[in-house]
Amino acid sequence: MKGKVCIVTGSTSGIGLVTAKELAKMGATTILVARDKTRGQSALTEVIEYSENENVELLMCDFSSQSSIVTFAETFKRKYNRLDVLVNNAGMMSQQRQVTDAGLELTFAVNHLGYFLTTFLLLDLLKETRDSRIVVVASDLHLRGRIDINNLMHTNDYNGFTAYSDSKLANLLFTYKLANLLDGSDTTINAVHPGVIKTKFGVEDRSSTKTFSAGRISPEEGAKPLIYLSTSPDVQGVSGKYFNRLDMEQSSALSYDKELADALWQKSMALCSLR
Ligand SMILES: NC(=O)c1ccc[n+]([C@@H]2O[C@H](COP(=O)([O-])OP(=O)(O)OC[C@H]3O[C@@H](n4cnc5c(N)ncnc54)[C@H](OP(=O)(O)O)[C@@H]3O)[C@@H](O)[C@H]2O)c1
């Protein structure tokens, strides 16, 4: 991976942190992204110590804020002239309905619009970089996702599990639609369910050491599919696919619904004030 530039979002903990450590160890210039300075600095130290690679940088971004995403993308583009791998991984689930400063439901804003806007703003650079890859960290819980296009914000019927499942279905609809749009370029995009992992996922106190109660496998094991999709020659040129860990599989029937994907795309463009 020497000479390549990789971004891993959500790299302060869990599978994002492990992925960043391994990409850096393989020699990639690795960009960590964090919303909290203390957690970001601690991840930066850990990645540099583990990888013995000095080409590791921390950039700040809160994916619940679109202006923060714009600033992050602009900062990155001022500093780097290539982007080989973008791992969209920062994600969350909340028992209570929360809204962003812009009034968007938080799970949808971070898990879907965060990936959507980040990718959109970095797409030119990805397309200019030979054989670049976008990795979308989704979940098998997309199988329970339904998405009511007229109730994307779960206004009156909030349930944390439903909002999360819908956001992960949105990840797949986005992946397949963008893969189609990228057809003919050598930028690939694939989605992955990493497994059910013992990370801080779903733990609301982000500085605690608690782990996801249903988590079964270690973050090191959970990160393997992200590292595989980011680096392996086996998946060179493979795009628009869903991986259940390392296996290419079909995702839910709804995730291939082109009308739903188009509608979600249009709404997402509008919600991100993009044309
Ligand atoms: N764990 C599982 O069983 C499982 C299963 C399927 C899919 N996934 C997916 O895997 C991805 C990584 O989760 P994980 O299990 O590694 O959980 P985790 O340990 O909780 O890591 C989540 C990461 O996302 C970051 N993040 C959350 N909200 C953010 C925001 N608004 N702005 C910036 N960063 C934000 C967190 O940063 P902070 O340190 O600042 O909180 C953290 O670095 C998620 O997309 C999740 O949906 C996880």
Pair 52, 46: CB distance under 8 Å: no
Query: What residues flank ligand 1, with Cβ below 6 Å?
Result: 10, 12-16, 34-36, 39, 61-64, 89-92, 110, 137, 139, 193-194, 196-197, 199-201, 206, 212, 215
Among residues 164, 228, 242, 256, which one is catalytic?
A: 164
Longest dimension (CA), the chain: 50
Q: Which long-range contacts (CB under 8 A, 24 or more apart) does 44-51 make?
A: 46/17, 46/21, 47/11, 47/17, 47/20, 47/21, 48/24, 50/21, 50/24, 50/25, 51/21, 51/24, 51/25
Q: Tell me, what's the pLDDT at 213?
A: 84
State pLDDT tens for residues 138-162.
999 999 999 999 999 999 889 999 9
Q: Tell me, what's the pLDDT at 215?
A: 87
Domain enclosing residue 81, as ranges: 5-271
Active site includes 164?
A: yes
Nearest CA to ligand 1 atom 41: 206
* 253: three-class secondary structure by DSSP: helix
CATH assignment at residue 16:
3.40.50.720
184 CA to middle of ligand 1, Å? Answer: 32
Pair 43, 17: CB distance under 8 Å: yes
User: Which residues partner with 8 through β-bridges?
Assistant: 32, 87
User: Which residues partner with 5 through β-bridges?
Assistant: 29
Judge whether residue 121 has pLDDT over 90: yes
Judge whether residue 255 has pLDDT over 90: yes
* Residue 237 banded pLDDT, cuts 50, 70, 90: very high
Total structural domains in the chain?
1
Judge whether residue 275 has pLDDT over 90: no
Pair 202, 93: CB distance under 8 Å: yes
Pair 177, 123: CB distance under 8 Å: no
Mean pLDDT computed over every residue of the chain: 97
Q: Tell me, what's the pLDDT at 126?
A: 98
Q: Tell me, what's the pLDDT at 207?
A: 86
State pLDDT tens for residues 171-225.
999 999 999 999 999 999 999 999 999 999 999 889 888 998 888 999 999 999 9
As to burial, measured by CB atoms within 10 angstroms (0-12 exposed, 13-18 middle, 19+ buried), residue 106 is buried
The residue-averaged pLDDT of 20-30 equals 98
Alpha helices in the chain (DSSP H): 14-25, 37-51, 66-79, 106-107, 114-128, 160-181, 219-231, 258-271
Ligand 1 probe mutation, 201, 209, 221, 244, most atoms within 8 A of CB: 201
Pair 71, 80: CB distance under 8 Å: no
